[in-house]
Amino acid sequence: MLNALEVVTVVVVGVMVGVEFAVPFFINPILNALPGDNGLRGRVHGARVGGAVMPFWYIGSLVLVGVWAVAGWDDDGTRLVMTAAALLIVSVLMSILVLVPINNRVKTWADGSRPADWKEQVKRWDRWHYVRVAVITAAFACLAAALV
């Protein structure tokens, strides 16, 4: 049973990392290349979709890692699993304190209703998202290494 939990956790966290990695390296460059305000419209839609889905994914991932840490407490890889949990906690805190407030503003922007500093807000979100991707990638690497 523990092996199944480990595999499910690695897959869930790994797919989350892949989705979050795709945002700055694939999706945003595509959106930025669109003419006019279409890229911003895409970001607004992405903020709505991501804002609805990602909280459950992040918290669910953290719960899975926590269950793995408890269930496999005596295993050799427990320190790596605990490190992954700590990194995921950091990513959730970053999200709540910095990224979600910006995301909540972005998803309210409609045609002509964006603030004067919208580009700075988007750039700030992008910078913090790079950090979050690095943090969750490190968590994923710890989980993968714990399987070995």
**Could you read off the pLDDT tens digit of each residue along the chain, which spans 148 residues?**
879 999 999 999 999 999 999 999 999 999 999 998 899 999 999 999 999 999 999 999 999 999 999 999 998 999 999 999 999 999 999 999 999 999 999 999 876 788 989 899 999 999 999 999 999 999 999 999 999 8
pLDDT at 37: 86
- Provide the pLDDT for residue 90: 98
CA 57/CA 109 separation, integer angstroms:
25
Question: What's the predicted TM-score (pTM) here?
Answer: 0.94
Q: Which amino acid is at 119?
A: K
Our measurement of the distance from residue 58's CA atom to the centroid of its chain's CA atoms, rounded to an integer in Å, reads 7
Q: Return d(Cα 104, Cα 34) in angstroms, integer.
A: 23
Neighbouring residues of 24: CB distance < 8 A, sequence distance ≥ 6: 126, 129, 130, 133
Instruction: Name residue, tokens 């750039």.
Output: 123
Q: What's the confidence (pLDDT) of residue 95? A: 96
* Helical ranges in 1-99 per DSSP H: 2-22, 28-32, 38-71, 78-94
What pLDDT was estimated at residue 112? 72
Q: Give the pLDDT score at 131.
A: 98
Q: How many CB atoms lie within 10 A of CB 2?
A: 11
pLDDT of amino acid 2: 79
DSSP state of 33: T
- The pLDDT score that the predictor gives to residue 1 is 81
* Among candidate residues 127, 35, 140, the one with its CA nearest the CA of residue 85: 140
